[in-house]
A and B are shown apart, each in its own frame.
Chain A
Amino acid sequence: MEVQRSVRMSRIKACLLPIFVGLVYLALYAPIIVLVVFSFNKNPLSFKWYGFTFGWYKQLFSSVEILDALRNSLIVAFSSVFLSITMALFYVFYGVSSFLHRLMIIFYGSLIAPEIVLAVCLLSIFTFFSIPLGLTTLIVGHTLIGLAYVVPIIRSSYLEMDHRLIEASMDLGATESQTFYKIVLPILSPAIISAALLVLIVSLDDFLISFFCAGASVLTLPMYIFSEIRSGATPVVNALSTLLLVVSSFLILILTTFKLRTRVF
């Protein structure tokens, strides 16, 4: 009797965690699912179902403004991922033995300063030196945030890796750069990929830096969406976000399979 009860209790306990996690996932997904469903609604401004339509998607693809914004967003995101990962890797590998290692704290600076402070700072310096606002200033800003996310991730996994491997490589005659490419890079690749993923996400999501630093000529997707939400033209935003969801799930799928392969190496 007692044993039966404790078995039942432990079964209930074992179920609690999955149920909790399930509820969290439900809360994460419910808004998105509703959004996707309503992007096919004939009257998406209402909370009632009026029938199925592809009309908003047609409208989406005929908009030059949206395609232009998408292109700008992608250019900025990929440039800042490349720049921040490259600089962070070089900093961590080559800087760890020098005094630059102690300067690690400066990378937390762009984390301590919230995005809006960074945006305001960048805007004021760009205007002060009369640098024209545009894609370049956007990439500068996004790389700045990117470094703050990437450097701590890559550094901590570099410090956690077995440093005897590096010593062994150097002892066996490999140069510093050979050790970097053949030993450090493969071992750090899970960290690099997740860091790159994070920067890509942050950059694509970023609204504030873009809002302050893009100037009047350049529009990114978040800026477009923000202005749409504010002006109340919702149906196209629903369709646009549904498409973004499809594209990005595809991208993440590629990245996750790639990550698995490198981990097995």
Chain B
Amino acid sequence: MKKNKFESEGNKEYSFALALPAVLWQVLFLYLPLFFLVYVSFVKVLDYSFLKNVTLANYQILLDISYLKIIMRSVVLAFLNALFCLFLAYPVAYFLALRAKKLKNLFIFLLVLPFWTNFLVQAYAWFFLLDNNGILNKFLLKVGVISAPLHILNTPLAIYIVMLFCYLPFMVLPIYSSMAKIDKYLLEASSDLGATSLQTLGHITLPLSLSGIRNGFFLVLIPSFGEFVIPVLLGGGKVMYVGSMISYFFLETKNIFLGAAFTCFSGFVLILLAAVVYMLFKRFDKNK
């Protein structure tokens, strides 16, 4: 016992170093560049004399209603997409973890599969469904639900539909993995003691899968905010979102100063949004 303690203390320096690369990677390639980006957002000309020509001019330009509208549009898109994903994903995860017995692996396989086809391809595939002459309109016309084809493509509705299904596996997998860990005897005990399946869901399954819900929510919320591909391809590219605006600044006008300022500003808004969601989950967790 004593010897072991001594040994593990002797190893400490060595093992500490093994934990470092992951941290260094983040600092070197995320936080350092982030500081650099923030610095760039406060200057008009890039030179090596730090703090000399700091200005708020870039941000003043951004305080225009049209830029604020773009950011708000992305906030709404990200939050609603995560919420819709949760509503759709929770029953699916529940089914996978607790109902699908023999076919469970097949269902998980089928869930991960579309996810493996390239994201762009997935978005692109929806063209065939949502087009004016597409499969969905043909089907609805034949059934007689509508008399004229619906114009879904190149509207926000197309963006919402496609984002929902593209991001769904991100939500299902974490919820599923937290649900699969739930002790089945708890569920049995609950129903043996007379709880309905809804009561069991509310008092046992939901609280115990909350960590999965939280992970899934963030996995959907955050990439949704900066989503570039789907709005550009399916939204027709006419309505700007944060992602398309940033790439416009950096790749088309090549105004990296204004681009950096816009990126920082929308990043700040996203941090606020994420903090609010995090607090909500924390409160929910404590109430249980």
Q: Inside 8 A of B76's CB, which chain A residues have their CB?
A: none
Chain B window 3-19, contacts with chain A (Cβ cutoff 8 Å), 1 for yes, 0 for no: 01001100110011011
Q: A265 contacts the other chain (Cβ, under 8 Å)?
A: no
Which one, B59-67, B186-194, B266-274, B279-287, is touching chain A?
A: B266-274
Q: A244 contacts the other chain (Cβ, under 8 Å)?
A: yes
Q: A31 contacts the other chain (Cβ, under 8 Å)?
A: yes
Please report which residues of chain B, range 1-53, place their CB below 8 angstroms from some CB of chain A when the two chains form the complex: 1, 4, 7-8, 11-12, 15-16, 18-23, 25-27, 29-34, 36-37, 40
If A35-B128, A152-B215 are given as contacts, then 19 extra A-B residue pairs at C-beta distance below 8 Å, sorted by A number, are A21-B92, A25-B110, A28-B111, A28-B114, A47-B128, A94-B16, A94-B18, A106-B23, A109-B31, A113-B222, A118-B30, A120-B37, A125-B36, A143-B25, A244-B116, A244-B118, A245-B116, A249-B109, A253-B109
Given contacts A114-B226, A114-B243, contact A248 B36 (CB under 8 A): no
C-alpha gap A220/B20 in the complex (Å)? 30
Judge whether A90 and B94 touch: CB under 8 Å: no
Where the two chains meet, the residues of A that have a C-beta atom closer than 8 Å to any C-beta of B are 17-18, 20-21, 24-25, 27-32, 34-35, 38, 47, 87-88, 90-91, 93-95, 98, 100, 103, 106-107, 109-118, 120-125, 128, 140-141, 143-144, 147, 149, 151-152, 156, 160, 170-171, 173, 175-176, 194, 197-198, 201, 204-205, 207-208, 212, 221-222, 225-226, 229, 237, 240-241, 244-245, 248-249, 251-253, 256, 260
Which of A20, A94, A98 has the most B CB atoms < 10 Å from its CB?
A: A94
Judge whether A144 and B114 touch: CB under 8 Å: no
Q: B246 contacts the other chain (Cβ, under 8 Å)?
A: yes
Given contacts A90-B21, A114-B222, contact A241 B118 (CB under 8 A): yes
Judge whether B22 and A120 touch: CB under 8 Å: no
B contact residues, total (Cβ < 8 Å): 90
Q: Inside 8 A of A124's CB, which chain B residues have their CB?
A: 33, 36-37, 40, 256, 260
C-alpha gap A18/B99 in the complex (Å)? 9
A-B residue pairs, 5 tightest by C-beta: A114-B226, A95-B19, A31-B125, A121-B33, A248-B116
Judge whether B121 and A18 touch: CB under 8 Å: no
Given contacts A90-B18, A94-B15, A222-B119, contact A256 B223 (CB under 8 A): no
The secondary-structure label for the interface of chain A is: helix
Q: Which residue of A lies closest to B115 (CB)?
A: A201
Q: How many CB-defined contacts (below 8 Å) exist between A and B?
A: 248
Q: Inside 8 A of A204's CB, which chain B residues have their CB?
A: 116, 118
C-alpha gap A21/B250 in the complex (Å)? 42
Q: Which residue of B lies closest to A21 (CB)?
A: B95
Given contacts A34-B128, A120-B246, contact A17 B22 (CB under 8 A): no
Judge whether A229 and B124 touch: CB under 8 Å: yes
Judge whether B135 and A30 touch: CB under 8 Å: yes
Judge whether B119 and A205 touch: CB under 8 Å: yes
Given contacts A27-B165, A201-B116, A252-B113, contact A170 B22 (CB under 8 A): no
Q: Which residue of A lies closest to B1 (CB)?
A: A171
Given contacts A109-B31, A117-B263, contact A34 B119 (CB under 8 A): no
